[in-house]
């Protein structure tokens, strides 16, 4: 099988099969069916449960382990890029990598550059899919079904990667009602909520108050390590970490199950110790389920053959349009262009952006702003002599303006004409603006820029790595 980077990589059927397999393994003695295989467990961030359960699961499967727990004592401290460290572990015989890293998209990047499968054990605030698998396993075990569930996610919904993945995981199931319990400053990123609402055709409830009439409270720790450094961040943390607590008195006579990815924060317990002895306390068993789920996952990942990496397909950067008579009708200036390119039907006001992204420092041959257009009311037109555009330049125009048509003029005639169209994947021309993304320049990981086109009108792109979406007006293009 392939890597597990996001819970969205799995279908409902695959999640259910993993849950059944993990529940089965819970009742069986370990069987060392992968003896001789090697797990590289690379933890750039603190961990107890996720690391130990993967390593213990590997050893129950008969595997050997290599790797590190924290970067102290490794060459990461000498400034080694992530890619080099990963390739080295692959070279030393790892059959699978489990990676935890503070940058969002680190695991996707690892999967893109390695030939062996990668399991995402948490990439910054982005995702934690194996946690979701064990969370769903626990719900299935306790409730019997994951459909028709009422669940409140409580606490740090902004930075908590466990709840980000859980919302995506729950969207695979039917009739799940979600309450997002957090103050505005800690609410869940809107694109995650949007994806859930789209997938389930339901509306998520956001509230700052603990919603009690539900089947499950999913409590979370305030992710102090992801707050801005300095007194402001510290103040916010202190304020927020006082907000949500459950204790035995609150739960009296209530059936609600209490889940938590753990650890809880000992200085301001989100779950009081007096809950531990109640039947509502699911979190200890939940953490233990991680062992069997990771055993099921490792065995699935190691049993399959890794699919061939898809060869990169070059997509056409324009759709050809018919040429009427070889002459560009309309504005007289066009007739003056002997050889070159004329970009017509640019959204009015976007002509200067088109020139900027093409690196046209000099005055172009033609630059008409806000002129009459039969098609769209007003338009800009840009033309230049002795230059034809390359595919990535056509892509850039399509990112700036949706309706542009490009005419290649040779010997005063329109030789080729087309409407610019965006490919489904945009490589290396748009910068991700999420400062926590693996591709962000300051992190110097040299990961390439890559975006998926999610929708054309309105234009929405999504970073291949950190998964943060951007709209047309937020796009920052690489200059020529
Ligand atoms: C979580 C994590 O690391 O995101 N822990 C875990 O893996 N069980 C939650 C947390 O640290 O608060």
Q: Considering the domain delimited by 318-420, tell me its CATH architecture.
A: 2-Layer Sandwich (3.30)
Number of neighbours of residue 59 by Cβ within 10 angstroms: 15
The whole-number pLDDT of residue 358 equals: 87
Q: Which residue, 151, 198, 85, is CA-closest to 445?
A: 85
Is position 158 annotated as part of the catalytic site? no
425-477 CATH choice from 3.40.1410.10, 3.20.20.150, 1.10.3720.10, 2.30.30.20: 2.30.30.20
- The predicted-structure confidence for 388-441, as pLDDT tens digits, reads as follows 898 889 999 999 998 899 999 888 888 889 999 999 999 999 999 999 999 999
Please tell me the CATH code under which domain 142-283 is placed.
3.40.50.1370
User: Mean pLDDT by 10-residue block, N- to C-terminus, for the chain (480 residues)?
Assistant: 91 97 97 96 98 98 98 96 98 98 98 97 98 98 97 97 98 97 95 97 94 92 92 88 92 95 95 97 98 97 74 79 68 66 92 87 77 84 88 91 89 88 92 97 97 94 98 86
Q: What's the 291 CA to ligand 1 centre distance in angstroms? A: 15
Beta bridge partners of 453: 461
Computed over its alpha carbons, how large is the radius of gyration of the chain?
27
Which parts of 361-428 fold into alpha helices (H)? 391-400
Give the CB-side neighbour count of residue 398, counting CA atoms within 13 A: 27
The whole-number pLDDT of residue 146 equals 97
What φ, ψ does residue 25 adopt, rounded to 5°? -60, -25
Give the DSSP H or E segment for 193. Answer: helix 190-200
pLDDT at 304: 77
The span from the CA of 42 to the CA of 123, in Å, is: 12
Q: What is the pLDDT of residue 46?
A: 96
DSSP 451: E
- In ligand 1, the atom with minimum distance to the C-alpha of 221 is 12
Q: What is the pLDDT of residue 100?
A: 98
pTM for this model (two decimals):
0.93
The atom number, within ligand 1, closest to the CA of 223 reads: 12
Rounded distance from Cα 420 to ligand 1 centre (Å): 45
Question: Considering only the top CATH level, what class is 7-129+291-303?
Answer: alpha beta
Domain ranges in the chain are: 7-129+291-303, 142-283, 318-420, 425-477
- Report the distance separating Cα 161 and Cα 119, nearest Å: 15
Q: Using the structure block, give the residue that is written with the tokens 């510290």.
A: 234
C-alpha angle 137-138-141 in degrees, rounded to nearest 5: 85
Which atom of ligand 1 is nearest to 290's Cα?
8
pLDDT of residue 377: 86
What's the confidence (pLDDT) of residue 212?
A: 74
Cis amide bond preceding 396, omega within 30: no
Give the separation between CA 370 and CA 351, rounded to whole angstroms.
9
Question: What is the CB neighbour count within 10 angstroms for residue 395?
Answer: 23
Long-range contacts formed by 304-311: CB under 8 A, 24+ apart: 304/1, 304/2, 306/1, 306/2, 306/115, 306/116, 306/117, 307/2, 309/115
pLDDT in tens, 51-100: 999 999 999 999 999 999 999 999 999 999 999 999 999 999 999 999 99
- Our answer to whether residue 78 is catalytic in this structure is yes
Q: What residues are in contact with ligand 1 under a 6 Å CB criterion? A: 49-50, 122, 128, 131, 161-162, 221, 261-262
Does 425-477 match 318-420 at the fold level? Answer: no
């Amino acid at each position: 099988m392939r890597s597990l980077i996001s819970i969205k990589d799995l279908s409902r059927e695959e999640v259910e099969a993993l849950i059944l397999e993990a529940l089965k393994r819970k009742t069986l003695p370990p069987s060392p069916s992968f003896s001789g295989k090697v797990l590289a467990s690379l933890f750039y961030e603190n961990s107890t449960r996720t690391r130990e359960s993967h390593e213990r699961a590997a050893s129950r499967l008969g595997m050997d382990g290599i790797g590190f727990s924290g970067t102290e004592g490794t060459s990461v401290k000498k400034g080694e890029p992530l890619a080099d460290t990963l390739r080295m572990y692959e070279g030393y015989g790892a059959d699978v990598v489990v990676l935890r890293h503070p940058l969002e998209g680190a695991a996707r990047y690892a999967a893109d550059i390695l030939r062996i499968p990668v399991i995402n054990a948490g990439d910054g605030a982005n995702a934690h899919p194996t946690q979701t698998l064990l969370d769903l396993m626990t719900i299935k075990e306790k409730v019997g079904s994951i459909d028709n569930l009422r669940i409140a996610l409580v606490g740090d919904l902004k930075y908590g990667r466990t709840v980000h993945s859980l919302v995506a995981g729950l969207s695979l199931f039917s009739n799940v009602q979600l309450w997002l319990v957090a103050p505005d400053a800690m609410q869940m990123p809107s694109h995650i909520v949007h994806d859930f609402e789209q997938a389930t055709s339901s509306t998520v409830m956001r509230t700052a108050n603990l919603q009690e009439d539900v089947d499950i409270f999913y409590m979370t720790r305030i992710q102090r390590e992801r707050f801005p450094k300095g007194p402001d961040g510290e103040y916010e943390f202190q304020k927020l970490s006082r907000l949500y607590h459950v204790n035995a008195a609150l739960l009296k006579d209530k059936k609600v199950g209490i889940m938590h990815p753990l650890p809880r924060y000992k200085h301001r317990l989100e779950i009081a110790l007096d809950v531990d002895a109640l039947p509502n306390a699911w979190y200890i068993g939940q953490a233990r389920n991680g062992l069997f789920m990771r055993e099921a996952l490792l065995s699935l990942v190691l049993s399959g053959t890794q699919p061939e990496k898809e060869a990169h397909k070059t997509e056409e950067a324009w759709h050809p349009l018919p040429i009427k008579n070889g002459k560009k009708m309309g504005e007289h200036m066009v007739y003056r262009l002997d050889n070159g390119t004329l970009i017509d039907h640019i959204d009015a006001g976007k002509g200067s952006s088109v020139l900027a992204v093409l690196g046209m420092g000099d005055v172009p041959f033609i630059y008409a702003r806000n002129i009459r257009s039969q098609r769209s009311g007003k338009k800009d037109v840009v033309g230049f002599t002795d230059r034809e555009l390359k595919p990535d330049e056509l892509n850039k125009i399509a990112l700036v303006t949706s309706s542009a048509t490009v005419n290649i003029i040779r010997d005063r005639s329109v030789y080729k004409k087309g409407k610019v169209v965006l490919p489904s994947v945009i490589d290396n021309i748009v910068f991700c603006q999420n400062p926590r993304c693996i591709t962000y320049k300051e992190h110097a990981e040299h990961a390439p820029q890559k975006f998926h086109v999610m929708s054309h009108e309105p234009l929405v792109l999504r970073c291949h790595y950190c998964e943060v979406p951007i709209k047309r007006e937020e796009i920052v293009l690489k200059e020529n």
